[in-house]
Amino acid sequence: MLKAVLGPRVPPQDGKRHRGRFVAPMLLLILGGLLFVASSVFPFWNMTLHAPQYPKGLHLEAHLTSISGDVAEIDTLNHYIGMRPLGEAATLERKLAWVAVGSMGLLIVAAMFIHSKWAAACVLPAISFPFVFLADLAYWMNDFGQNLDPHAALSKAIKPFTPPVLGRGTIGQFHTDAIPGTGMWIAFASGLVLIAALYFHRRAYKPLVDRQQALG
Model confidence pLDDT, tens digit, residues 53-78: 888 999 999 999 999 999 999 999 88
pLDDT at residue 27 tops 60: yes
Residue 15, pLDDT score: 55
Q: What is the pLDDT of residue 18?
A: 66
Q: Point out which residues pair with 67 in neighbouring strands.
A: 62
120-142, pLDDT tens digit by residue?
Answer: 999 999 999 999 999 999 999 99
**pLDDT band with cut points at 50, 70 and 90 for residue 159:** confident
| Average pLDDT of the residues in 35-42 | 97
Mean pLDDT, the chain, as a whole number?
90
Give residue 1's pLDDT. 66
Cα separations (Å) of 191 from 39, 152, 198, 214?
11, 43, 11, 33
109 pLDDT tier (thresholds 50, 70, 90): very high
Q: Which residue has the higher pLDDT, 100 or 174?
A: 100
- Look at 2-16, 172-186, 194-208 and tell me which has the smallest mean pLDDT: 2-16
C-alpha span between 57 and 51 (Å, rounded):
6
Distance CA 150, CA 210 (A): 64
Q: Model-level pTM?
A: 0.91
Angle (CA) 160-66-69 rounded to 5° is 75
pLDDT given for residue 199 in this prediction? 96
- Which pLDDT score, from 0 to 100, does residue 11 have? 66
Confidence of residue 46 (pLDDT cuts 50, 70, 90): very high
Contact call for residues 180 and 61 (beta carbons, < 8 A): no
Query: Does 7 score more than 80 pLDDT?
Result: no
> Does residue 177 have a pLDDT over 90?
yes
